[in-house]
Structure 1
Amino acid sequence: MAVYDVMDNAETIQFEGNKVGILISHGFTGTTQSMKPLAEAYAKEGYTVICPRLAGHGTSPEDMENSTEQDWIQSIEEGYHWLKDRCEIIFAVGLSMGGTLALYISETFEDIKGVIPMNAAIEIPEMERLPSETEDRYIDAIGSDIKKEGVEELAYQKTPVQAITALSRLMENVKRRLNGVHCPIMLFVSDEDHVVPPSNAELIFDKVFSEHKEIVHLENSYHVATLDYDQDLIIERSLEFFQMYAQAKNS
C-alpha cells in the first residue's frame, strides 16, 4: 500500500481550550488550510477546536482516488470523538463537502448543539454527471474559486473522477436524512459560487427540522468563502452563534 506525504499546511489542526468544542471540516479536494483562519479565530476565543485532514486529502490525487465517502466520514467522526472526550458541548462547521459532512454529523449524533454549513453540497447535477460522461481518471481542478485576488486555496491540481462518484453517494445519503437535523443551523451561502449551486442552501433550509434556522448571504465571496472577502463576517456571525447556543444549553 502506497504511503503519501502530507503537504505543508494540510495537517490536522487542533487546539485544546474550554469545554465547548468546534468540529471543522474542509472541502472536497481541499485541505485544512482553507479553514485555518476560522480554527485560529475560534481557538482565540477559548474554544477547543479540531479540523481533521480528511482521508485522501492533502497528499496526492492518487491517494484521494482510492478513498471513499466512508473514509471521509471516519475522518470527521474521529474528530467528533476527540472533542467528545474533552468537551461538554460540540458544534459542527464545514465548507463545501465539509458542510455536507457537518450535516452528516448533525444527523448522526443527537448531542450536536448547532451546525454551520458554508456553501454545503447536497446536489451538484453537473458534477454528478461527469463519471458517466468521461473515460478519464481525472478532470480539471475545482479548487481556488476565490474572488479575492492573490489568495490561493491549497488544493489538488486535478480531481479524481472516482472520488466524484463517492461524493455523489455522500450527498445523496445526507440529503435523504436532512430531516434528522434538529439542532440550530446557520447556513452561509455565496450568491456567486462556481462550484456548488447556491440553491443548495435553500434545499437544506427547507428540509432540516431545526426550530432555529437562518441563511446568511455572502455577497462578496465565491465558493471558498473562508479565504475570501467575507471571511470576517463568517467568523463574527459564527462566534455569535456559538455564544448564543452554548449559553442556551447551559442555562
Structure 2
Amino acid sequence: MKERFQIIKGAESFYFKGSEIGILISHGFMGTPQSVRFLGESLARYGYTVLGVRLKGHGTHYRDLEKCTHEDWFESLERGYKELKQRCTSVFVIGQSMGGTLTLKLAHKYREIKGIMLINPALNVPAYEHLKEATKPKFIIEEKPDMNVKNVYEITYDLAPIKAIHELQKIMEMTPALLPSIQCPVLGIQSAMDHVVPPENTDFIIENIGSDVKEKLVLTNSYHVATMDYDKEKIVKYCHSFVQQQVGDKSVYQ
C-alpha cells in the first residue's frame, strides 16, 4: 500500500494577491515555504503578488523526498511560475540555497523573467561530497539548520535520503554550464559565514552569469538560512529595491 503523508502544519505553500508585479519564492533542499514566509509576507506588504511554492517531497516526510528527482523539484517551481505568469505582467524569482539553483535553471528556460534574487545559492555542498558514490545507508542524520540567531525553529527533516542528496548534486553540477546564457538582472545575496554552502558559490555565479545587471549583497550577521536569521529584514529591503530598479521606479533610492 502506498504511503500517504500529510503536509506538516506551517509548511504549506503561500500566496498573497497584489499588483501585476509577481514574485515567486523557492525554499531550499530539506526546507519548506516556512523558511521564506517572512520574506514573502514582507514583500506582499509592498503590494506585490507573492507565491511561495512547496517543492515536491518537502514538508511532509523524508520518505516522500526519497522518491523525488531534481526534475520534480524544478517542475514544482515551474508550475508556480506559470501560475504567477497568468496573473502578473512581470515576474521576479527568489531562490534560497537549492531554490537559487532551481531559479537559475528557470531563468535559463524562461528568458522573459524580469530578474532573479539568489540567497546563498548552491553549486556545491561540501558536507555531502563524500556521499557522491554512496548507496548505504539509505538515510543520514541531518545537522540542525545553519542559523546565527537562536531559538528559531525551521521545519525540516531529521533524516536526509541519500537518493535525494544525489539528485541535489546532479542539479548543482548541471548549473554552471547554464550561467553564460542567462541574461536577466541578478542580485546575489551571500552570507559572509555559511557553514553549508561556501560563499564563493555566489561569487562564481555573479562572475560567470551572462547578465548585464549584476548586484551583490553580503550579509554579515546571518548564516545559511538567511531568510530566518538576523539579516532577514535587510534581505526584504534589498529585494524590494532590486525589483523597483528593474521596473523603473528609482524613488526607492532617493
Which residue of the partner structure matches residue 29 of structure 1? Answer: 30
Letter in 1 for 2:246: Y
Match of 1:139 in 2: 140
Amino acid paired to 2:9: D
List gaps (5 residues or longer) in structure 2: 250-254
1:64 counterpart residue number: 65
Q: Distance in 2 between matches of 1:148 and 1:20?
A: 32
d(CA) in 2 for partners of 1:98, 1:143: 19
Name the % identity: 40
**Partner SS state of residue 29, structure 1:** coil
SS at match of 1:214: strand
**Contact 1:123/1:171 (CA < 8 Å) preserved in 2?**
yes
1:57, 1:64 within 8 Å by CA — same for their partners in 2?
yes
For 2:41 and 2:103, the matched residues in 1 are separated by 19
Q: Which AA in structure 1 matches 2:200?
A: S
Q: Scaled by the length of structure 1, what TM-score is found?
A: 0.95
- Give the corresponding residue for 1:161: 162
- Tell me how far apart the structure 2 counterparts of residues 238 and 44 of structure 1 sit (CA, whole Å): 13
The answer to whether the 8 A contact 1:118-1:189 is kept is: yes
TM-score, with length taken from structure 2: 0.94
1:39 aligns to what SS in structure 2? helix
The CA deviation string for residues 72-103 of structure 1, in whole angstroms up to 9 with x for no partner, is: 01100000000110011000101100111111
What are the superposed Cα offsets for residues 49-88 of structure 1, whole Å, 9 maximum, x if unpaired?
A: 1111100000000110001101001100000000110011
Alignment of 1:95-244 (within 5 A): 95-133=96-134, 135-244=136-245
Structure 1: unaligned runs, 5 residues or longer:
none
Measured after TM superposition, the shift of residue 239 of structure 1 is 0.5
Partners of 1:131 and 1:162 within 8 A in 2: no
Per-residue CA deviations over 1:16-52 (Å, capped at 9, x if unaligned) read 1110010100000000000000100111111111111
Which letter does structure 1 place at the counterpart of 2:91? Answer: I
Distance 2:240 2:170 in 1: 32
Deviations 1:186-217 (A, max 9, x none): 10111111111111011101110111102211
Q: For structure 1, which segment, 178-187 or 26-35, has the greater mean C-alpha deviation from structure 2 after superposition? A: 178-187
Task: Supply the distance in 2 between the matched residues of 1:90 and 1:143 (Cα, whole angstroms).
Answer: 33
The root-mean-square deviation of aligned C-alpha atoms, in Å, is 1.2
Equivalent-residue separation in structure 2 for 1:112 and 1:168 (angstroms) = 25
Classify the secondary structure of the residue corresponding to 2:133: helix
Alignment match, 1:90: 91
Q: Secondary structure at the match of 1:197?
A: coil
Cα distance change on mapping 1:143 and 1:101 into 2, 3 Å: farther
Q: CA offset at residue 142 of structure 1?
A: 4.0
Q: Deviations over 1:127-147 (max 9, x none)?
A: 133142461111121452110
CA contact (8 A) 2:18 2:48 kept: yes
